Amino acid sequence: MSAGVEIEVRDLRKAWGDSVAVDGIGFTAEAGAFTVLLGPSGCGKSTTLRMIAGLEEATSGAVLIGSQNVTRQPPNARGISMVFQSYALFPHLNVAENILFGLKVRRVPAAERAARLQRTAGLLGLDGLLDRRPSQISGGQQQRVALGRAIISEKPICLMDEPLSNLDAKLRHEMRVELKTLQQKLGITMVYVTHDQVEAIAMADRIVVMKGGQIEQSADPRTLYQRPASVFVARFIGTPPMNILELAVGPAGGMISGDPTPVLPRSVVDDRDGGFQLGIRPEDIEIGQPGGITGTVEQVEYLGADQLVDCRIADQRVLIRAANRQPVAVGQRVSLTWGRDSLHLFDKRSGARIPATDERPVQAAGRTFQTNAETGAAGP
């Protein structure tokens, strides 16, 4: 199997008339790594993928594959395979013919075709379905056929455009694990487009978060979660999303607007125009530890393993993900505490993260990621 090849996107731009879909973005998808383009619909992630594939012509900028400029090359000259959201299976061909289509087009000898088909079908568990038509198999099986068509080509790069969005939740989870395993086993460079942050976090080595045609942040999943570069990323990654609170600055330091207790020292919150916003993840807040900020419980949503507690601090709402054994009742006044590390400070006007001087590097299992150096700052 061919090992992965690096993809570099440089200042890539795509516009149709006045409407700009991708606005001068740049990132690198490392060889053999799983890169996810993540963002809400209309953020330009699919367009970016299609420009890497060569299905869409870039207005300006460059796509480099294996340090070769392929910006004006046709798709088949780029050494890529692709899985489409709709699978794009040929309805009149059976599973085997669908998977073999590309090999036949490229005139691969019949004996080799048969061997590769057997290997691919075995890998994906399609052995019994080879002579069925796409309309005669289930959605999950169609997905595997589309995947088979991509991996039998043995190209160093595989591009995927929301391949799991047509599957039900259970199947989606299974395929997620399988895709990641497959990608690592084959060592291919994967670029994967999705709007589902859970999918992105579970599979990616690196996530490129996009918004409005620009990159908000490009980082590994842990950094993205622990050091979001902007309010947008902070709220996009994680369920339920991060609480964003207004911060008032007084002589004693930063306080949650309307509450007298300082939560950040004066040294961290300098005087700046526009003010600050404070981010706290619902899972980082603890209920019932003494010495915290006082909040009033407004609503409790029981989730089984844990509960979502809707609180109010002064006039601001805070969502807390708390353990179930914690007894809370609506109307109760509770003490809310958190670690200094779990506070995120943002510039209110630009939405960009303000790095605290006392931040520790993000720790991952076995690896240390650099954070600030490669975390792109957001905003203008």
Partner 1 sequence: MEWIYGWLLLSPALVLLIAFTHLPAINTLWGSFFSTPRGQRPAKFVGLGNYETLLADETFWQVFSNSFWYAVVTIPVSVALALLMAIWVDGKLAGRGFVRLAYFAPTVLPLIAVANIWMFFYTPGFGLIDQISGAFGFPSVNWLGDPDLALGAVIVVAIWKEAGFFMIFYLAALQSIPPQLREAAAIEGADRWTFFRRITFPLLMPTTLFVSVNAVINSFRLVDHIFVMTDGGPDNASSLLLFYIYEVAFKFWDTAYASTLTVVLLVLLSVLAVGQFFLLDKRVHYR
Does position 72 interact with partner 1 (CB under 8 A)? The reply is no
Does position 75 interact with partner 1 (CB under 8 A)? The reply is yes
Does position 76 interact with partner 1 (CB under 8 A)? The reply is yes
- Pairing of the two strands 206-211 and 253-256: unpaired
- Pairing of the two strands 333-337 and 343-347: unpaired
| Minimum gap (Å) between residue 135 Cβ and partner 1 | 7
Does position 16 interact with partner 1 (CB under 8 A)? The reply is no
List of residues 6+ apart from 264 with CB closer than 8 A: 247, 253, 254, 278, 343, 345
Q: Which of 30, 101, 173, 176 binds partner 1 (CB under 8 A)?
A: 101
Euclidean distance between CA atoms 57 and 79, whole angstroms: 17
Does position 49 interact with partner 1 (CB under 8 A)? The reply is no
| Omega within 30 of 0 (cis) for the link into 240 | yes
Which range of residues in 48-56, 224-232, 265-273, 368-376 is near partner 1 by CB under 8 A? 48-56
Q: Are 262 and 310 in contact (CB under 8 A)?
A: no
- Give all strands (DSSP E) within 17-142, no chain letters: 19-29, 34-38, 60-65, 68-69, 80-83
Binding to partner 1 in span 50-69, by CB under 8 A: 53-55
Q: Which of 68, 86, 261, 370 binds partner 1 (CB under 8 A)?
A: 86
Identity of the residue, 81 or 197, whose beta carbon is nearer to partner 1 in the bound complex:
81
Euclidean distance between CA atoms 361 and 227, whole angstroms: 9
Amino acid 310 reads: D
Provide the mask over 104-143, with x wherever binding to partner 1 is found by CB under 8 A and - wherever it is not: -xx----------------------------x--------
What's the alpha-carbon Rg for the chain, to the nearest Å?
A: 24
Q: Report helix, strand or coil for 40.
A: coil
Does position 80 interact with partner 1 (CB under 8 A)? The reply is yes
Provide the mask over 21-40, with x wherever binding to partner 1 is found by CB under 8 A and - wherever it is not: --------------------
Identity of the residue, 193 or 293, whose beta carbon is nearer to partner 1 in the bound complex:
193
Does position 357 interact with partner 1 (CB under 8 A)? The reply is no
H-run or E-run covering 336: strand 333-337
Please state the φ and ψ torsions of residue 377, each to the nearest 5 degrees: -75, 150
Euclidean distance between CA atoms 254 and 275, whole angstroms: 10
Does position 215 interact with partner 1 (CB under 8 A)? The reply is no
Identity of the residue, 88 or 114, whose beta carbon is nearer to partner 1 in the bound complex:
88
Identity of the residue, 85 or 332, whose beta carbon is nearer to partner 1 in the bound complex:
85
Binding-site size for partner 1 (CB under 8 A) equals 22
Residues lying near partner 1 in the complex (CB under 8 A) = 53-55, 74-76, 80-82, 84, 86, 88, 90-92, 101-102, 105-106, 135, 149, 153
